[in-house]
């Protein structure tokens, strides 16, 4: 280690933080209503984008030790 440097370590409090789905959808909808430039890149309606995002966020399944689970609360980050 170089002189003058200090080695430190941080403990992780919550490695799998959850994203609140309804809050995320609400914030996303507000952003899309305020900035309509997205309409030049897609023919989808705002409600279609919200619905597809909700489908992706709520369809969270994962495998652990050869068993499958569904995340029931929030959407995992990462």
Q: What is the pLDDT of residues 41-77, one digit of tens each?
A: 999 999 999 999 988 888 778 888 999 988 777 776 6
Q: How far apart are CA 49 and CA 21, in angstroms?
A: 14
Mean pLDDT for the chain overall: 84
- Alpha-carbon separation of residue 49 from 1, 28, 39, 69, 78 (angstroms): 50, 10, 11, 26, 21
Tell me, what's the pLDDT at 12?
64
Burial of 72 (0-12, 13-18, 19+ CB in 10 A): exposed
What's the whole-model pTM score? 0.65
Q: What percent of the chain shows pLDDT beyond 90?
A: 41
Mean pLDDT, residues 27-47 taken together? 95
H or E segment and range at residue 23? helix 21-34
Output the pLDDT for position 44: 95
């Amino acid at each position: 280690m170089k002189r003058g440097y200090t080695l430190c370590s941080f403990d992780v409090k919550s490695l799998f933080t959850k994203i609140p789905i309804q809050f995320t959808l609400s914030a996303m909808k507000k952003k899309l209503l305020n900035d309509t430039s997205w309409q030049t890149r897609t023919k989808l309606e705002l409600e279609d984008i919200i619905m597809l995002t909700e489908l992706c966020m709520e369809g969270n399944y994962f495998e652990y030790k050869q068993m499958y689970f569904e995340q029931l609360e929030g959407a995992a980050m990462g």
